[in-house]
Amino acid sequence: MTLNTRSARLAGALVLGALSMGVAAQGRTLTNEDYAHAERYVGYNVTPLVDHAVQTVTWLDDTHFWYRDHDASGDHFVRFDAATGKAEPAFDHARLAAALGKVLDKPVSATKLGITGFTTTLDGRLDVNLRGKHYLCDMKGNTICTASRDESVEGVGHEPGVLSPDKRSEAFVRDWNLWVRDAATGKETQITLDGVENYGYATDNAGWKHTNNAILVWSPDSKRIATFQQDQRKTGDMVLVGTNVGHPKVEKWKYPLVGDKDVTMIERVIVDVDARKVLRLKMEPDQHRSTLCDDVSCGRDGGWDDVQWAPDGGSLAFVSSSRDHKQAWFRVADIHTGDVRTAFDESVPTYYESGNGKVNWQYLPASHEVVWFSERNNWGNLYLYDLDSGKLKHAITSGEGNVTEVLKVDAATRTLWFRGVGREKGVDPYYQQFYKVSLDGGTPTLLAPEPADHSITLSPDGRLFADAYSTPTTPSVTVLRSAQDGHVVNTIAKADISRLLATGWKAPEPFTVKARDGKTELYGLMFKPTHFDPSKKYPIVDYVYPGPQTGSVGSRSFNPARTDHQALAELGFIVVAIDGMGTPWRSKAFHDAYFGNIGDNTMPDQVAGLKELGKRYAWIDMDRVGMWGHSGGGNATVTAMFRYADLFKVGIAESGNHDNRNYEDDWAEKWQGLLVEGKDGKSNYDDQANQNHVAGLKGHLLLAHGTMDDNVPPYETLLVVDALIKANKDFDLLLIPNAHHGYGSASNYMMRKRWDYFVRNLAGDVPPREYEMKPPKD
């Protein structure tokens, strides 16, 4: 063997060795044009190319609703008459644009108004929401708009309010007290007087979320408000420090952590608005918990999910949850005396939830009954309880598949309408469908039969519903249906993706693989380059979100851009997302798969699924596997890089909650359990902490975090950084000054850095230097 031959073979061996270690050899050099081609498939470029995709409607009354339509010329707000099937402009777009242009002192396009919604006030004016800023517009004669309030700014006259059922009053929080604003005159009245700092009424603070929204529920007659006085006086602080020239801005707020002796508590009250009197319920303070999410308020409208008034306003029902979420109590309060009675409760070994996407229990005082959601038979079903005795009467639904959202109950006809998944054989178990069922039991009637994901909006009287149905591969069709038998009354819109397809866009490919147990089906989506060549070998990138409150894939409705999966694929990758065990929408056992072991992060399922895909498709290069994720996905990515380093060669972990002892108490204590420390100082939270596993890192890891992240504090990533330095490990770090959890204006920079990192370290190619993303200015 000659020296040259030996040298060549040695060089080849070194290259192969480098590749096996995750250090990619230099390949092709990508250009700005290559990145520009990929950018064509980012959301801000492809979403506007989908025409007439109407996902939701807003009902104005029992027979009229409005919706936002879109085509090549821009957005159009349409008013639909359900009785006649006639659609017409909801308002004069040109006049409104001109009036908004005057108050904003800049041109406003009639087809690119930028409004996110509108309502009609009692005096007939339009209350227009323009990206969080409200304008009252008188559409009579010469249209005039005046600034109303700004939901993004705190201060006098700016606090977002909760509108009363009669639409005459808005309740809001100011200076730790509850106030009411007259919707017509703007006159403001202080209702409570004893609220003080960190012990205020209706305040919205879950630790990870701290807003000036009011959390409350109006009585049906608009005379009383159910809310709480939130005690955070002993709750620990979270502190972030900004980056600027001069003295830094310090943000400080209450943020309870796992294991804290003192956490935020709520003291339930009923407020008589006219009398300005507070009735404190006769019970111990309740945990700041929900039966659905990690906050007392799971919605975005200032609602309070686990509280319901009787239809006549004569009593109040609510559900209390234990700190560890394992027990829930159904209770009823006397609104005159404050007496509280516990009707029944449910205890579970892991965590109790009242639905998937919505709190599903229903208070039916007229018939002395309660509709209760339970997963006691391994599936989310509904049960009817006797309110007086607290005894179970019978099951309303049964069998496999979950009730996800109860949307309406008609007590007079004893009929209930709900969304559900997994109830039809042969249909993707993640597709939401729509049913009605009798409170007395029986087989539910399927009202939205298409094998697709259905978004439902019921009319106020419950006679009709708008149904937008689609799949990840087929665009939406939106129809108006009868809530009695599901027959189609009118077609509202049919999405047109002609302009999208003209770009070369292709839909992702649904697939199934086996889970860690070798038998459970897992569902995912695959994104291939539009110029896919099966004769080539492609590196694969696994996008992950481990749950347990949601999964990697997300909604099964049509979406032309799921994060930047297709864009990344265009750069020469196969991109996949797999919903592993431990994520919701399937059986209770499936969801409980890694309860008490957050460090699992669905990794055994991701590994099993990727290996199966690698065996199935010769064009997947299993020597070049990467992963990325944000938040919980950032946590999972680091877990992959530290514990499964032989498979995952490159990882990008954004804003990860790497040690949940440093995260908001409610979330982790639900999924991992309460903190338990032994005499040896070890705890049940040690294994889930990523910094304890840095020794396993072999490949390329990029950590990223916003320095003002008030959801997952940046210290989470710095704990890992500290451990990596002490372990003498190589890694990359990107801290984004003053950025919050979603990175805001720096999000496109982060996307480009993500592309660069995979292109360079996983594909072995050279990215263009400092490519600049070019989102449309409007």
pLDDT class of 151 with cuts at 50, 70, 90: low
Confidence at residue 300, expressed as pLDDT on a 0 to 100 scale? 56
Closest by CA to 632, choosing from 574, 717, 547, is: 547
Q: Map tokens 């451990």 to a residue.
A: 723
> Residue 353 and residue 345: Cα distance in Å, rounded?
13
- Cβ-based neighbour number of residue 377 at 10 Å: 14
pLDDT exceeds 80 at position 21: no
Kindly write down the DSSP assignment for every residue of 525-555, as one continuous string.
EEE--TT--TTS-EEEEEE----SSS-SS--
Cβ atoms of 603 and 591 within 8 Å: the answer is no
> Residue 507 and residue 530: Cα distance in Å, rounded?
10
> Residue 104 and residue 114: Cα distance in Å, rounded?
12
The pair phi, psi for residue 519, each rounded to 5°, is -135, -30
**Ranges 105-119, 176-190, 413-427, 572-586: which has the least confidence:** 105-119
Taking the alpha carbons at both ends of the chain, their separation in whole angstroms is: 66
* CA geometry: angle 375, 513, 511, nearest 5 deg: 100
Per the structure block, which two tokens stand in for 587? Answer: 């059986």
Q: Residue 328: left if φ>0, alpha if ψ -120 to 50, beta else—which one?
A: beta
Q: Map tokens 């309010």 to a residue.
A: 161
* Average pLDDT, integer, range 339-358: 96
Mean residue pLDDT across the chain: 93
Closest by CA to 659, choosing from 701, 691, 702, is: 691
> Residue 627 and residue 639: Cα distance in Å, rounded?
10
Exposed, middle or buried: residue 610 (CB in 10 Å: 0-12, 13-18, 19+)? Answer: buried
Cβ atoms of 566 and 525 within 8 Å: the answer is no
Confidence at residue 654, expressed as pLDDT on a 0 to 100 scale? 98
**What are the tens digits of pLDDT across the range 480-534?**
999 999 999 999 999 999 999 999 999 999 999 999 999 999 999 999 999 999 9
Confidence at residue 17, expressed as pLDDT on a 0 to 100 scale? 40
Query: What is residue 666's three-state secondary structure?
Result: helix
Closest by CA to 50, choosing from 531, 594, 499, is: 499
The pair phi, psi for residue 365, each rounded to 5°, is -65, -30
Q: Looking at 50-205, list the stretches that DSSP marks H as alpha helix, in order from N- to C-terminal side.
A: 93-104
Three-state SS sequence of 49-91:
HCECCCCCCEECCCCEEEEEEEECCEEEEEEEECCCCEEEECC
Query: What is residue 598's three-state secondary structure?
Result: helix
* Average pLDDT, integer, range 35-43: 98
Strand order of the β-sheet with 433-438 is: 402-410, 415-421, 433-438, 445-446
Within 8 A by CB and 6+ apart from 542, the residues are: 576, 577, 578, 606, 610, 625, 626, 627, 628, 648
Which residues in 327-358 are b (16+ Cβ under 10 Å) and which e? ebbbbbbbbeeeebeebbebebebbbbbbbbb
Q: How many CA atoms lie within 13 A of 573 on its CB side?
A: 30
Confidence at residue 191, expressed as pLDDT on a 0 to 100 scale? 97
Q: Residue 601: left if φ>0, alpha if ψ -120 to 50, beta else—which one?
A: left
Confidence at residue 142, expressed as pLDDT on a 0 to 100 scale? 79
**What are the tens digits of pLDDT across the range 371-415?**
999 999 999 999 999 999 999 999 999 999 999 999 999 999 999
Strand 648-654 relative to strand 620-630: parallel, antiparallel, unpaired? parallel
Q: Map tokens 């073979």 to a residue.
A: 9
pLDDT class of 8 with cuts at 50, 70, 90: very low
* CA geometry: angle 36, 42, 47, nearest 5 deg: 130
Q: Map tokens 């508590």 to a residue.
A: 265
What is the percentage of the chain residues whose pLDDT exceeds 70? 95
Per the structure block, which two tokens stand in for 772? Answer: 């600049």
Alpha-carbon distances, residue 458 vs 85, 108, 431, 434, 482 (angstroms): 16, 33, 19, 11, 10
Q: Tell me which amino acid residue 717 is.
A: T
* CA geometry: angle 763, 634, 294, nearest 5 deg: 155
Q: Tell me which amino acid residue 622 is.
A: M
Per the structure block, which two tokens stand in for 576? Answer: 């996949």
pLDDT class of 766 with cuts at 50, 70, 90: very high
pLDDT exceeds 70 at position 444: yes
What is the percentage of the chain residues whose pLDDT exceeds 90? 85
- Cβ-based neighbour number of residue 552 at 10 Å: 26
- DSSP assignment letter at 684: T
**Ranges 206-215, 362-371, 629-638: which has the least confidence:** 206-215
**What are the tens digits of pLDDT across the range 684-703?**
999 999 999 999 999 999 99
**Ranges 181-185, 188-192, 442-446, 564-568: which has the least confidence:** 181-185
Confidence at residue 229, expressed as pLDDT on a 0 to 100 scale? 98
* Average pLDDT, integer, range 156-175: 86
Confidence at residue 140, expressed as pLDDT on a 0 to 100 scale? 81
Q: Looking at 644-681, list the stretches that DSSP marks H as alpha helix, in order from N- to C-terminal side.
A: 665-671
**What are the tens digits of pLDDT across the range 301-344?**
557 989 999 999 999 999 999 999 999 999 999 999 999 999 99
**Count of helix runs (H) and strand runs (E) in the chain:** 12, 46
Cα dihedral 391→397→402→406 (10° resolution): -80
Confidence at residue 302, expressed as pLDDT on a 0 to 100 scale? 56
Confidence at residue 2, expressed as pLDDT on a 0 to 100 scale? 45
Alpha-carbon distances, residue 202 vs 175, 208, 271, 413 (angstroms): 11, 17, 11, 35
Confidence at residue 109, expressed as pLDDT on a 0 to 100 scale? 86
pLDDT exceeds 80 at position 210: yes
Cβ atoms of 470 and 558 within 8 Å: the answer is yes
pTM confidence score: 0.93
Closest by CA to 370, choosing from 354, 352, 390, is: 390
The pair phi, psi for residue 245, each rounded to 5°, is -80, 130
Cβ atoms of 372 and 383 within 8 Å: the answer is yes
Confidence at residue 143, expressed as pLDDT on a 0 to 100 scale? 85
Confidence at residue 22, expressed as pLDDT on a 0 to 100 scale? 43
Q: What DSSP element (H or E) covers 128?
A: strand 126-130
Cβ atoms of 111 and 73 within 8 Å: the answer is yes
pLDDT exceeds 70 at position 154: no
- DSSP assignment letter at 777: -
Confidence at residue 116, expressed as pLDDT on a 0 to 100 scale? 82
- The distance of Cα 259 from the centroid of its chain, to the nearest Å, equals 26
pLDDT exceeds 80 at position 138: yes
pLDDT exceeds 50 at position 19: no
pLDDT exceeds 70 at position 7: no
